[in-house]
Amino acid sequence: MRLKLLIELPDTPGQLVNILQPLSSFGANVSTIIHEHDNRTADGKIPVHFTLDGSKEILEKGVEFIRGQDVDIVEIDGILQKETQTFLLLGNIPTADIMQTVHKIDELEDVKISSVDLNIGNNLQESVCKIVIETSENNRLEAINFIQDIADNDNLVLIKEI
């Protein structure tokens, strides 16, 4: 059986070998690998495409191992495992207050902020904040609901999925 994976690894020495070496100890064989060192993600991680060969049990154990290493699995056999969403937060509040809202969103479980752009009005009281988050596909709606609750509590208008 063959499994194609796309993962994202931190740009530090040894990260790739720390993933691949244990996979081989499970009995999985890496048949192809593309390490995109020059194509970093917004948070500085490096995309790595690779193909594993092995039995269904070995491949399942390999995926479970990778997830246990706190590695972002982007795709398995072309199926997205995480989803990116973009939101706008609007409000007549000071910049510091809108950044507190961003921190609340960042503390949500299974939500990762990958980008924040803040535009400040003339008197530092009007703020527009664009946030790009990553969630697993099965947590998408739950994340939107939590972010809506945070925006409502902080008197901000949330424009979803721009």
Percent of the chain with pLDDT over 70: 96
Domain positions in the chain are 2-80, 83-159
Instruction: Find the length of the chain.
Output: 162
Q: How far apart are CA 158 and CA 149, in angstroms?
A: 10
Q: From residue 65, how far is each of 14, 24, 103 by CA, in Å?
A: 17, 12, 30
Average pLDDT over residues 78-100: 85
Cα(27)–Cα(104) distance, integer angstroms: 42
Looking at residue 125, its pLDDT comes to 66
Q: Could you read off the pLDDT of 31-79 as tens digits, one per residue?
A: 999 998 888 876 788 999 999 999 999 999 999 999 899 788 888 998 8
What does the mean pLDDT of the chain come to?
A: 88
pTM over cut 0.75? no
Question: For position 117, what pLDDT does the model report?
Answer: 92
The reply to whether 83-159 shares the fold of 2-80 is yes
Fold of 2-80: Alpha-Beta Plaits (3.30.70)
Domain covering 83-159, topology: Alpha-Beta Plaits (3.30.70)
Cα separations (Å) of 152 from 2, 8, 28, 29, 87? 46, 33, 48, 50, 14
Q: 111-136 b/e with 16+ CB inside 10 Å = b?
A: bbbbebeeeeeeeeebbbbebbbbbb
